[in-house]
Amino acid sequence: MKITQNLQKNKQALSQLQNSDDIVFLDLNIGKSTALLIFAKEIVDKDALGQLVLRPALGLEGQVDKDTLWDCFLNPEKQKVFESEQVIDQVLSGFALLLCDGVDFAVSFGVQKYEKRAIAEPPTSTVIKGPREGFVESLPVNVSLIRRRLKSPQLVFENDVCGRLSKTAVSICYIDNVVDKELLKEVKKKLKAVDIDAVLDSSYLAKYLSDCKPSIFKRVGNTEKPDILVSKILEGRVAILVDGSPIALTVPYLLLEDFQSPSDYYNSPYSATIARFIRLFSVILALLLPAVFVSAELFHLQLIPLSFLLTIVNSIKGIPLSPSYEMFFTFLIFEILNEASVRMPKYVGMVVSIVGGLVLGETAVNAGIISPPTLMIIALSGICLYTVPELEQPLSFLRLFFLIIAGSIGIYGLIIAVSSLMVHLTCSESFSVPLTAPFAPLVKKDLKDSFYKGFLAENNSRPQSLNNKNKRRLDKNVEE
């Protein structure tokens, strides 16, 4: 509904806001005209409201017309609003709206003030060397963190709103002369199609941005660190920032990203390469060690060296459970302890560690319920899982799946399961980019930042796996 020159009529149109006690309708007299200031008192900066809105407004004299009203405010974030629905949206977003009798628009002032967390190091990606700043829940702060790192006119933020009730601010961020326009179009299309009552976290949008095909692997990358996000958009990706979430989304996503740690880029390439291979080896160990051990114990004893076999035989003597049940049981205990330690308050966490590690583990072995090799294998596999924390959930599921397969079919079943996983992964795509790139399909140029980490100076081209617009960094023909 349009804002009219009749203040009473406008007030009636905005009556649905009057039900809530935190919305203030302040009647004013500006010169000889009556006016109405509307704002949500808990989310506006009252000092700014007084200084930038009320003081100049109350200083006006005589009959107030459109131009006088507009010109008297020096607030840099003022704008004209012509629809009552828009007035409601803006009030609920922390703006102050001034309506005046005889003026057919409302003046909106950006005087929002939200309580926000201080910038801190994100707990999910800590580094020894390198920037420690992490995103917070405030979108403007996150935008400022990115802009501070990339002072280029090519860096673009496009704002949108998602969620029917929450009307959460969403910002699409990209580098204009690098990003693939088709990708950008697809991201915008998918965001437009989001029909949900509230977007409480960026993970809500991640599900809409992913393809509909069910998969245990994610199709959208995420980061909590502005330096990582900047490096990703420099490669031609699109980032999506969501107000209220400290986690930014990035697309397209490659599986390899999860094996790359921020510290790899701040340390020497040699140690980064070693660290990446250790992560890969750990993931393979985490996934396959329990399954291979169970299948070797059950079906393929010839796989185990004789001396080790004798140790195992001695340790499993008297264990009432079969190797697969024993492993499954230990796996279950590990997962329960893991879940409990994540959910429990920090001060109880220590108790859980002691109860889990010492009491449960030690006692179970001493009581002859589980054998030491099984306990050791599950513990090692569990630790290995956390070398790539981003993949913890899918790997944990696969570990259980492989364990069941190995316990029932043995090593050939395991090969079939791994092969099926390979088929699934090689066919999965994120925004038309294969998840397994640069290995399948093989992209030679991208291998220098894969498991092998090349020198920074060597890395003068953007990933060819992504369909970015200009493939070379510092290309002379491209405007910066």
Write the CB contacts of 463 (distance below 8 Å, at least 6 apart in sequence). Answer: 235, 236, 254, 438, 443, 446, 449
CB of 177 to another protein, least distance (A): 24
Q: Is the Cβ–Cβ distance between 178 and 154 less than 8 Å?
A: yes
Residue ranges in 436-455 that form contacts with another protein under rule CB under 8 A: 436, 439-442
376 vs 341: CA distance, rounded Å: 20
356 vs 362: CA distance, rounded Å: 9
Query: Where does this chain touch another protein (CB under 8 A) — which range of 155-163, 173-181, 343-351, 417-425?
Result: 417-425
CB of 154 to another protein, least distance (A): 28
Helix or strand run (H / E) with residue 201:
none
Does residue 200 touch another protein according to CB under 8 A? no
* # of chain residues touching another protein (CB under 8 A): 32
Burial code of 389-414, b = ≥16 C-beta within 10 A, e = fewer? ebbbebbbebbbebbbbbbebbbebb
Does residue 426 touch another protein according to CB under 8 A? yes
Per-residue tokens: 475: 């290309």
Q: Is the Cβ–Cβ distance between 177 and 469 less than 8 Å?
A: yes
297 vs 32: CA distance, rounded Å: 93
Does residue 43 touch another protein according to CB under 8 A? no
List the one residue from 1, 120, 274, 303 that touches another protein (CB under 8 A): 303
Specify the residue, 39 or 253, whose C-beta has the smaller distance to another protein: 253
List the one residue from 150, 194, 304, 376 that touches another protein (CB under 8 A): 304
List the one residue from 344, 416, 447, 478 that touches another protein (CB under 8 A): 416
Does residue 423 touch another protein according to CB under 8 A? yes
Write the CB contacts of 378 (distance below 8 Å, at least 6 apart in sequence). Answer: 290, 327, 330, 331, 334
For residue 84, the Cα-to-chain-centroid distance in whole angstroms is 35
Specify the residue, 397 or 412, whose C-beta has the smaller distance to another protein: 412
Specify the residue, 12 or 420, whose C-beta has the smaller distance to another protein: 420
Per-residue tokens: 64: 């107030």
Does residue 214 touch another protein according to CB under 8 A? no
103 vs 289: CA distance, rounded Å: 74
Write the CB contacts of 125 (distance below 8 Å, at least 6 apart in sequence). Answer: 134, 223, 224, 225, 228, 261, 262
Does residue 373 touch another protein according to CB under 8 A? no
CB of 304 to another protein, least distance (A): 5
Does residue 184 touch another protein according to CB under 8 A? no
Question: Residue 252, preceding bond cis, omega within 30 degrees?
Answer: yes
CB of 440 to another protein, least distance (A): 4
Per-residue tokens: 473: 């960094």
Specify the residue, 412 or 452, whose C-beta has the smaller distance to another protein: 412
Query: Where does this chain touch another protein (CB under 8 A) — which range of 101-109, 235-243, 263-271, 419-427?
Result: 419-427
CB of 429 to another protein, least distance (A): 10
Specify the residue, 180 or 224, whose C-beta has the smaller distance to another protein: 180
Does residue 422 touch another protein according to CB under 8 A? yes
List the one residue from 123, 305, 318, 345 that touches another protein (CB under 8 A): 305
The CA distances from residue 450 to 64, 280, 306, 408, in Å, are: 66, 11, 38, 36
Does residue 284 touch another protein according to CB under 8 A? no
List the one residue from 362, 419, 452, 480 that touches another protein (CB under 8 A): 419
Question: 10 Å Cβ neighbour count for 20?
Answer: 9
Query: Where does this chain touch another protein (CB under 8 A) — which range of 148-156, 182-190, 256-264, 422-430?
Result: 422-430
Cα-based torsion angle of the residue sequence 361, 367, 372, 375 in order, rounded to the nearest 10 degrees: -40
Specify the residue, 300 or 472, whose C-beta has the smaller distance to another protein: 300
Residue ranges in 375-414 that form contacts with another protein under rule CB under 8 A: 409-413
Cα diameter, the chain: 102
Residues found near another protein in the complex (CB under 8 A): 299-306, 308-309, 409-413, 415-420, 422-424, 426-427, 434, 436, 439-442
